[in-house]
Protein backbone atom coordinates (compact mmCIF):
# COMPACT_ATOMS: atom_id res chain seq x y z
CA UNK A 1 0.00 0.00 0.00
CA UNK A 2 2.84 2.36 0.89
CA UNK A 3 4.56 1.59 -2.43
CA UNK A 4 1.33 2.33 -4.29
CA UNK A 5 0.97 5.71 -2.58
CA UNK A 6 4.55 6.64 -3.49
CA UNK A 7 3.98 5.57 -7.11
CA UNK A 8 0.82 7.68 -7.34
CA UNK A 9 2.66 10.69 -5.94
CA UNK A 10 5.40 10.31 -8.56
CA UNK A 11 2.80 10.12 -11.34
CA UNK A 12 1.02 13.25 -10.10
CA UNK A 13 4.27 15.21 -9.86
CA UNK A 14 5.37 14.06 -13.32
CA UNK A 15 1.99 15.00 -14.76
CA UNK A 16 2.22 18.49 -13.28
CA UNK A 17 5.71 19.04 -14.64
CA UNK A 18 4.66 18.02 -18.13
CA UNK A 19 2.08 20.84 -18.15
CA UNK A 20 4.44 23.68 -17.25
CA UNK A 21 5.24 25.08 -20.72
CA UNK A 22 5.64 28.81 -20.33
CA UNK A 23 4.17 28.57 -16.85
CA UNK A 24 4.60 31.33 -14.26
CA UNK A 25 4.36 30.42 -10.59
CA UNK A 26 0.96 31.77 -9.50
CA UNK A 27 0.56 34.45 -6.88
CA UNK A 28 -1.91 33.40 -4.20
CA UNK A 29 -4.96 35.64 -4.49
CA UNK A 30 -5.41 37.40 -1.13
CA UNK A 31 -9.03 38.20 -1.97
CA UNK A 32 -10.37 35.21 -3.92
CA UNK A 33 -14.00 36.25 -3.46
CA UNK A 34 -13.33 39.57 -5.18
CA UNK A 35 -12.36 37.98 -8.51
CA UNK A 36 -15.22 35.49 -8.47
CA UNK A 37 -18.11 37.91 -8.92
CA UNK A 38 -20.49 38.55 -11.79
CA UNK A 39 -19.56 40.54 -14.88
CA UNK A 40 -19.85 44.28 -14.18
CA UNK A 41 -19.60 43.95 -10.41
CA UNK A 42 -16.25 45.80 -10.45
CA UNK A 43 -17.24 48.45 -12.98
CA UNK A 44 -16.77 51.39 -10.60
CA UNK A 45 -13.49 49.96 -9.33
CA UNK A 46 -12.17 49.84 -12.90
CA UNK A 47 -13.52 53.24 -13.91
CA UNK A 48 -12.87 55.43 -10.88
CA UNK A 49 -9.80 56.08 -8.76
CA UNK A 50 -11.72 55.95 -5.50
CA UNK A 51 -10.45 52.50 -4.53
CA UNK A 52 -7.82 51.54 -7.12
CA UNK A 53 -5.38 53.98 -8.69
CA UNK A 54 -3.54 51.53 -10.96
CA UNK A 55 -4.38 48.52 -13.12
CA UNK A 56 -2.64 45.33 -14.17
CA UNK A 57 -3.56 43.81 -17.53
CA UNK A 58 -2.54 40.15 -17.53
CA UNK A 59 -2.73 38.37 -20.89
CA UNK A 60 -2.12 34.63 -21.08
CA UNK A 61 -2.09 32.82 -24.41
CA UNK A 62 -2.14 29.17 -25.43
CA UNK A 63 1.34 28.78 -26.93
CA UNK A 64 3.08 31.43 -29.01
CA UNK A 65 0.74 30.68 -31.92
CA UNK A 66 -2.03 32.61 -30.16
CA UNK A 67 0.02 35.42 -28.65
CA UNK A 68 -1.72 38.74 -29.27
CA UNK A 69 0.12 41.20 -31.47
CA UNK A 70 1.53 44.24 -29.68
CA UNK A 71 -0.89 46.46 -31.60
CA UNK A 72 -3.85 44.60 -30.05
CA UNK A 73 -2.47 45.06 -26.53
CA UNK A 74 -1.74 48.71 -27.23
CA UNK A 75 -5.32 49.28 -28.40
CA UNK A 76 -6.70 47.63 -25.27
CA UNK A 77 -4.50 49.78 -23.04
CA UNK A 78 -5.50 52.93 -24.93
CA UNK A 79 -9.17 51.98 -24.53
CA UNK A 80 -8.72 51.50 -20.79
CA UNK A 81 -6.81 54.75 -20.41
CA UNK A 82 -9.48 56.64 -22.34
CA UNK A 83 -12.26 55.69 -19.93
CA UNK A 84 -10.66 54.62 -16.64
CA UNK A 85 -9.18 56.94 -14.02
CA UNK A 86 -5.93 55.21 -13.15
CA UNK A 87 -3.34 57.92 -12.41
CA UNK A 88 -0.61 55.33 -11.84
CA UNK A 89 -1.29 53.75 -15.20
CA UNK A 90 -1.81 50.30 -16.69
CA UNK A 91 0.94 47.68 -16.46
CA UNK A 92 0.89 44.76 -18.90
CA UNK A 93 1.98 41.21 -18.08
CA UNK A 94 2.01 38.45 -20.70
CA UNK A 95 2.90 34.78 -20.52
CA UNK A 96 2.41 31.56 -22.42
CA UNK A 97 0.41 28.56 -21.24
CA UNK A 98 -0.07 25.09 -22.77
CA UNK A 99 -2.71 24.32 -25.38
CA UNK A 100 -6.14 23.98 -23.76
CA UNK A 101 -8.25 22.20 -26.36
CA UNK A 102 -11.45 22.93 -28.24
CA UNK A 103 -15.09 23.69 -27.33
CA UNK A 104 -14.60 25.42 -24.01
CA UNK A 105 -17.45 26.35 -21.67
CA UNK A 106 -17.30 28.85 -18.80
CA UNK A 107 -16.45 26.08 -16.32
CA UNK A 108 -13.34 25.25 -18.35
CA UNK A 109 -12.38 28.92 -18.65
CA UNK A 110 -12.56 29.46 -14.90
CA UNK A 111 -10.57 26.28 -14.30
CA UNK A 112 -7.82 27.42 -16.69
CA UNK A 113 -7.78 30.83 -15.02
CA UNK A 114 -7.45 29.19 -11.60
CA UNK A 115 -4.27 27.45 -12.73
CA UNK A 116 -2.54 30.16 -14.73
CA UNK A 117 -3.67 33.55 -13.49
CA UNK A 118 -0.84 35.28 -11.59
CA UNK A 119 -2.11 38.84 -11.02
CA UNK A 120 -4.86 39.71 -8.62
CA UNK A 121 -6.23 42.74 -6.82
CA UNK A 122 -3.36 44.15 -4.76
CA UNK A 123 -3.95 46.46 -1.82
CA UNK A 124 -0.76 45.87 0.12
CA UNK A 125 2.15 47.19 -1.96
CA UNK A 126 1.86 50.96 -1.92
CA UNK A 127 -0.56 51.67 -4.78
CA UNK A 128 -3.89 49.84 -4.67
CA UNK A 129 -4.15 47.98 -7.99
CA UNK A 130 -6.98 46.17 -9.73
CA UNK A 131 -6.13 43.41 -12.21
CA UNK A 132 -7.85 42.45 -15.45
CA UNK A 133 -7.28 38.92 -16.77
CA UNK A 134 -7.37 38.07 -20.49
CA UNK A 135 -7.29 34.41 -21.54
CA UNK A 136 -6.52 33.76 -25.22
CA UNK A 137 -7.35 30.14 -25.91
CA UNK A 138 -6.49 27.84 -28.78
CA UNK A 139 -10.08 26.63 -28.85
CA UNK A 140 -13.61 27.79 -29.54
CA UNK A 141 -16.60 28.46 -27.32
CA UNK A 142 -19.42 25.95 -26.99
CA UNK A 143 -21.50 28.44 -29.02
CA UNK A 144 -19.50 28.19 -32.20
CA UNK A 145 -19.94 31.73 -33.57
CA UNK A 146 -18.68 33.46 -30.41
CA UNK A 147 -15.28 35.19 -30.65
CA UNK A 148 -14.97 36.38 -27.06
CA UNK A 149 -16.75 36.43 -23.73
CA UNK A 150 -16.64 38.26 -20.40
CA UNK A 151 -17.26 35.60 -17.76
CA UNK A 152 -16.28 37.14 -14.39
CA UNK A 153 -15.98 40.63 -12.95
CA UNK A 154 -12.27 40.86 -13.84
CA UNK A 155 -11.97 38.14 -16.50
CA UNK A 156 -12.50 37.84 -20.25
CA UNK A 157 -11.56 35.28 -22.86
CA UNK A 158 -10.81 35.49 -26.57
CA UNK A 159 -11.25 32.32 -28.62
CA UNK A 160 -8.07 32.43 -30.64
CA UNK A 161 -8.85 29.59 -33.01
CA UNK A 162 -12.20 31.09 -34.00
CA UNK A 163 -10.68 34.57 -34.41
CA UNK A 164 -7.94 33.17 -36.63
CA UNK A 165 -10.43 31.15 -38.67
CA UNK A 166 -12.56 34.28 -39.17
CA UNK A 167 -9.82 36.66 -40.31
CA UNK A 168 -6.98 37.17 -42.76
CA UNK A 169 -8.59 35.94 -45.99
CA UNK A 170 -9.53 38.22 -48.89
CA UNK A 171 -13.16 38.47 -47.75
CA UNK A 172 -12.28 38.69 -44.04
CA UNK A 173 -10.96 41.47 -41.78
CA UNK A 174 -7.38 41.68 -40.53
CA UNK A 175 -6.75 39.34 -37.58
CA UNK A 176 -5.33 42.06 -35.32
CA UNK A 177 -8.24 44.38 -36.10
CA UNK A 178 -10.71 41.62 -35.24
CA UNK A 179 -8.94 40.61 -32.02
CA UNK A 180 -8.68 44.22 -30.81
CA UNK A 181 -12.35 44.88 -31.53
CA UNK A 182 -13.53 41.81 -29.65
CA UNK A 183 -11.18 42.47 -26.73
CA UNK A 184 -12.40 46.05 -26.30
CA UNK A 185 -16.02 44.86 -26.48
CA UNK A 186 -15.43 42.36 -23.66
CA UNK A 187 -13.58 44.93 -21.55
CA UNK A 188 -16.60 47.17 -22.09
CA UNK A 189 -18.73 44.58 -20.30
CA UNK A 190 -16.33 44.60 -17.34
CA UNK A 191 -16.75 48.39 -17.23
CA UNK A 192 -20.47 47.80 -16.72
CA UNK A 193 -21.81 48.15 -20.27
CA UNK A 194 -24.62 47.73 -21.06
CA UNK A 195 -26.55 47.87 -17.78
CA UNK A 196 -24.27 45.35 -16.05
CA UNK A 197 -22.84 47.68 -13.42
CA UNK A 198 -22.79 51.10 -15.04
CA UNK A 199 -26.30 52.45 -14.79
CA UNK A 200 -27.81 53.64 -18.05
CA UNK A 201 -28.27 57.40 -18.26
CA UNK A 202 -30.55 56.88 -21.25
CA UNK A 203 -32.25 53.59 -21.98
CA UNK A 204 -30.21 52.02 -24.78
CA UNK A 205 -30.13 48.34 -23.86
CA UNK A 206 -30.93 45.80 -26.55
CA UNK A 207 -32.78 43.49 -24.17
CA UNK A 208 -33.44 40.95 -26.91
CA UNK A 209 -29.69 40.32 -27.03
CA UNK A 210 -28.83 40.60 -23.35
CA UNK A 211 -26.43 43.23 -22.07
CA UNK A 212 -25.74 45.02 -25.32
CA UNK A 213 -26.31 48.42 -26.91
CA UNK A 214 -29.21 48.95 -29.30
CA UNK A 215 -27.06 51.04 -31.65
CA UNK A 216 -25.78 48.77 -34.43
CA UNK A 217 -22.84 51.12 -35.02
CA UNK A 218 -21.66 50.96 -31.40
CA UNK A 219 -18.81 48.78 -30.13
CA UNK A 220 -21.23 47.25 -27.61
CA UNK A 221 -23.73 46.02 -30.24
CA UNK A 222 -24.27 42.30 -29.77
CA UNK A 223 -22.73 41.17 -33.06
CA UNK A 224 -19.32 42.54 -32.08
CA UNK A 225 -18.49 39.44 -30.05
CA UNK A 226 -19.59 37.04 -32.79
CA UNK A 227 -18.62 36.21 -36.34
CA UNK A 228 -21.46 38.50 -37.47
CA UNK A 229 -19.08 41.43 -36.87
CA UNK A 230 -16.98 40.49 -39.91
CA UNK A 231 -19.18 42.35 -42.40
CA UNK A 232 -19.24 45.40 -40.13
CA UNK A 233 -15.45 45.59 -39.96
CA UNK A 234 -15.12 45.22 -43.72
CA UNK A 235 -17.75 47.83 -44.56
CA UNK A 236 -17.59 50.38 -41.72
CA UNK A 237 -14.23 49.84 -39.99
CA UNK A 238 -13.70 49.38 -36.26
CA UNK A 239 -16.74 50.44 -34.18
CA UNK A 240 -16.35 52.71 -31.14
CA UNK A 241 -18.51 53.38 -28.11
CA UNK A 242 -21.46 55.62 -28.85
CA UNK A 243 -22.47 58.65 -26.78
CA UNK A 244 -24.91 56.68 -24.62
CA UNK A 245 -22.27 54.15 -23.60
CA UNK A 246 -19.73 56.89 -22.91
CA UNK A 247 -22.26 58.74 -20.75
CA UNK A 248 -22.82 55.57 -18.68
CA UNK A 249 -19.08 55.19 -18.04
CA UNK A 250 -18.65 58.83 -17.11
CA UNK A 251 -21.56 58.70 -14.68
CA UNK A 252 -20.00 55.67 -12.95
CA UNK A 253 -16.70 57.39 -12.21
CA UNK A 254 -14.97 57.10 -15.56
CA UNK A 255 -13.52 59.83 -17.74
CATH of range 32-247; options 3.30.310.50, 3.40.390.10, 3.40.309.10, 1.10.357.10? 3.40.390.10
pLDDT tens track of the chain, all 255 residues?
444 343 333 333 333 333 334 444 445 555 568 899 999 999 999 999 999 999 999 999 999 999 999 999 999 999 999 999 999 999 999 999 999 888 899 999 999 999 999 999 887 778 999 999 999 999 899 998 999 999 999 999 999 999 999 998 888 889 999 999 999 999 999 999 999 999 999 999 999 998 999 999 999 999 999 888 887 787 777 899 999 999 999 999 999
User: Which contiguous run of DSSP H or E holds residue 80?
Assistant: helix 70-83
Sign of CA dihedral 28, 56, 221, 231: negative
Q: What are phi and psi of 84, to 5 degrees?
A: -105, 135
b/e map of 194-204 (b: 16 or more CB within 10 Å)? bbbbbebbeeb
What percent of the residues of the chain are helix, what percent strand, and what percent coil, each to the nearest 5?
Answer: 40, 20, 45
Cα–Cα distance list, 109 to 52, 101, 178, 192 (Å): 26, 11, 21, 21
DSSP per-residue letters across 55-70:
EEEEEEEESGGGPPPH
pTM score > 0.85 for this model? Answer: yes
Amino acid sequence: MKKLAILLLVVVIAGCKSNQVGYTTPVIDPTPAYNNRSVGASANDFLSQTRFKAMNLEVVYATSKFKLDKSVIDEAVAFIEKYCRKPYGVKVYEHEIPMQGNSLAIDQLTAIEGIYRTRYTDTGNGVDTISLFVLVTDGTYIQNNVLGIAYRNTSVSLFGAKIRESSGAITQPDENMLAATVLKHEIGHLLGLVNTGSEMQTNHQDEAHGKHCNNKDCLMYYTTQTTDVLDVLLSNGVPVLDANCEDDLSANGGK
